[in-house]
Structure 1
């Protein structure tokens, strides 16, 4: 490099080459995108930027490199989504230069929706209002936004929340001490929680050891970039699958918002190959011929909303058969397409698998197409990934079930409670246990005790089946946890407490302790479980099958069943159906699910 000649620095053709490194979904092994990394023939890219900074032309170099990266990716005929690097200062103060990037994308026939702009520090001295405005403008063009260097850069947490990026990219310094460094593990968990709450993707960069990768999986991180899985190379990957990235069966995943029916389809998202709905059959054939790794094509309208789905095998069979080229080549490819199988980001893997394996047996291997709230294509989900994901989920479920009752353990209840808290719901968490269970074991024997626990487990299973909001868990011994909406609480208590129970000729009673968790009072599952302890003690002090209830933030305990000799039973409960003293709602927070009413 000649540091005295800035135009030489800006000349992309001969001085700067690009390497492309895959971003990999470590749940499925799918390559979801590639990042273009500038590699000068002489020196390091930072030398170029130092010289550009001396001549106050950093923004010019920054955009020029991004434009050159698009050119190189086009030359390599890569259809993978592309990550480009830009300084936050370039976007804030020299956004007019990005016109060159818009024009280059139009020239090579790529959509802005296929591009993720990774905004790099420094951020601390930027006009944050101007940055947010320019980011909003880029989004209006269709670009996806990522923030790079999080954890070791200078981005304020408030700005990170205000930008609401589509992806947050961790600096390698955040994960270098995993899994031993408790502080880094806590930071990773916090950032994953932020991403879960905002819908962003957390990308971990630079894992170097298998134990780091295992820790990332356990934290719920699903997109990783680094030499451990795939090094940067002059050519983008021709395979869309990195088998080495897929976890061994039995490895657990965490961090993402769960559903009782399993993981959401976003856990298995792969990039979609999109063409215009007006594309000819010959142009689609050319794409499929040049890219054998592609399983199909999505034909979209001008707003990237899917209108047709083309399966690779069925399409090529039609156009390459006798007279196929003459019949179809210059006609719309939509003539040979199918209606797209659309799912949204809230769809579970099981629901998508049911859709894909529907009545039409000829389409059981078709991809499902994931769309956002506006109906725009976000990517595809392959049936093989759904099948593997659900098999892993069922295996994890089976491993977590109590062997006696076949009910899930406390982890499942914690996930459900945390999800309800995050959604701002009003709900009830209850602790159920068997009174005098040790006496049953000591008198009637362990077999009678086991059968008693199974009987309670069957009752809870029936309750969860008939009452839609109820989730039950067996935390061990004779202790059970129950979560329910307030609307189902009375019926749940009746189903559990009303049936008479005997074990080995001994009459048995149950104690039910309920804590009403309100929007303003509940901060965590751990806090709610701690507040249940005195309620359980109170319930156990009563005679007969008992039920007591309280609310977070209140010292009052209502006795709804059972009594002391000097305390009459209160009968039907009069519990709150909403938070009686709610905190002012956040503008983006959902309100409580239940309206006022006693």
Structure 2
């Protein structure tokens, strides 16, 4: 699957939360953090946290995900968080996942800023239970993804039924491209399937530039792995190295309205409407890839949009900080530019162009009931529409 910003640092958590965190040590050694990289921009858009190995096969063990969540809280990782949860725990429902929900509460994570990757095999008779469990997580506000595609027993038609936010390729599949043409064909087919469904594709454990070249060729935009960041990377390390793409001849394509904006969706950094300007400034200062902060009400509906450049300009300097720091951030915000998730790319660009002073402000994507699903960078829409235009003769 940017860009999380808790309302306060992990150091300021209540004592009870600190005690709860200490009760969940990372199994199997120190926690690991892997940046999720947007290959188009080179920016880190999320952080995957892992504590110990994910159990193979059918598992109900939620402890590694809980430990990883607390570890991310200790690191004060402000970007959206990616956690792997076993299919068995999702099938068992809210009671089995209660420790994870408590970890989110204790570390002050908003569910909308957490991507839960459902992974692992499951008995065919539990298919309905898995779908119900995934829908329950979505109802709470989590972004739900499916993992292990291409080498697990996750039926492909279940992906269509589940409508996940993202699909994560199997690490074993990624590891065998481009050397194995058959595996490469499988990975490409999965990527094309997901793209047709409006689902993001994440390629894990990318080790070689040849792999990266093929992933880009297939339109896979999100990746993580040793090629992009060292194994000891931490959220505080910031940007990563992304090899430049090899120039390729664009394929001619007819102009149409383009895909829906949901295909370009990125997790949003959200705060409540009562957040102070100082809290927002801390989040922006901590991570340069955060382009905007969305202020939402208690129902996760967007109420205001804080654009990075204008906000920092307003609060810069001793007088700006003194005037605004302790006051509500919405005083320096603009009305959100809202588009439904079904809006075509070109129609979304028309929304962006209505206000010449805010042409490049992020668009806020909402679901059927007006809840914030994430943001879309206008630059992404522009690049896509440019690719659609046939080359001049």
Range into which the TM-score falls when normalised by the shorter chain: 0.7 to 0.9
> Which has more radius of gyration?
1
Whole-angstrom CA distance in 1 between matches of 2:73 and 2:225: 23
| TM-score normalised over the length of structure 1 | 0.55
Are the aligned partners of 1:272 and 1:380 in contact in 2 as well (CA < 8 Å)?
Answer: yes
Q: Provide closer, same or farther for how the CA distance between residues 125 and 369 of structure 1 changes in structure 2, counting only shifts above 3 A.
A: closer
Q: Does 1:313 align with 2:326?
A: no
Structure 1 window deviating more from structure 2 (142-151 vs 381-390): it is 381-390
Query: What is the rounded CA distance, in whole Å, between the counterparts of 2:296 and 2:281 in structure 1?
Result: 17
Matches of residues 395-406 of structure 1 in structure 2 within 5 Å? 397-398=390-391, 403=393
Contact 2:257/2:346, CA 8 A, preserved across alignment: yes
Q: Is the 8 A contact 1:20 1:34 kept in 2?
A: yes
What's the offset of the Cα at 1:308? Answer: 0.7
* Aligned-partner SS, 1:28: coil
Q: Which runs of 5+ in 1 are unaligned?
A: 1-9, 40-44, 404-598
In the alignment, does 2:154 pair up with 1:168?
no
- Taking the TM superposition and a 5 Å limit, the aligned residue runs for 1:415-454 are none
Distance in 2 (CA, whole Å) between partners of 1:28 and 1:371 is: 24
* Contact 1:249 1:392 (8 Å CA) reproduced: no
Deviation, structure 1 residue 246: 5.2
Match of 1:281 in 2: 277
Q: Which residue of 1 aligns with 2:12?
A: none
1:171, distance to aligned residue in structure 2 (A): 1.0
1:119 has 2:110 as partner: no
Which of residues 300, 303, 309 is equivalent to 2:299? 303
Asked whether the equivalents of residues 150 and 187 of structure 2 are also in contact (C-alpha less than 8 Å), the reply is no
Q: CA deviation at 1:265?
A: 4.5
Q: 1:274: how far off?
A: 0.8
CA distance 1:70–1:190, change in 2 (3 Å): same
SS at match of 2:137: helix
* Structure 1 residue 71 displacement after superposition: 1.5
Q: Cα RMSD between the aligned structures?
A: 3.4
Q: Is the 8 A contact 2:228 2:241 kept in 1?
A: no
Change (3 A) 1:145 1:245: farther
Q: Quote the offset at 1:393 in angstroms.
A: 4.8
- The answer as to whether partners of 2:113 and 2:142 remain within 8 angstroms in 1 is yes
How many residue pairs match? The answer is: 371
Quick one: higher RCO (CA 8 Å, sep 6+), 1 or 2?
Answer: 2
Asked if 1:21 is matched to 2:29, the reply is no
Distance 2:197 2:227 in 1: 29
Mapping of 1:208-223 within 5 angstroms?
208-223=207-222
Taking the aligned partners of 1:115 and 1:139, their CA distance within structure 2 comes to 11
Deviation sequence 1:237-290 (CA, Å, 0-9, x none)? 653x65625534546589xx9962556655554432111112122322332333
Partner Cα separation in structure 2 for residue 339 and residue 258 of structure 1: 35
CA positional deviation for 1:20? 1.0
Residues 188, 218 of structure 2: 8 Å contact kept? yes
Structure 2: state its 5+ residue gaps.
1-22
Change (3 A) 1:249 1:341: farther
Alpha-carbon distance between aligned partners in 1 of 2:211 and 2:196, rounded to the nearest angstrom? 24
SS in 2 for 1:230: coil
Deviation (angstroms), 1:329:
3.2
Q: 1:190 to 1:249 in 2, by over 3 A?
A: closer
Distance in 2, matches of 1:30 and 1:383, equals 15
The 1-side partners of 2:34 and 2:43 are apart by 13
Deviations 1:383-439 (A, max 9, x none): 454555555554xx21xx6x4xxxxxxxxxxxxxxxxxxxxxxxxxxxxxxxxxxxx
The 3 A distance-change label for structure 1 pair 311 and 15 is same
Contact 1:66 1:84 in 2 (8 A): yes
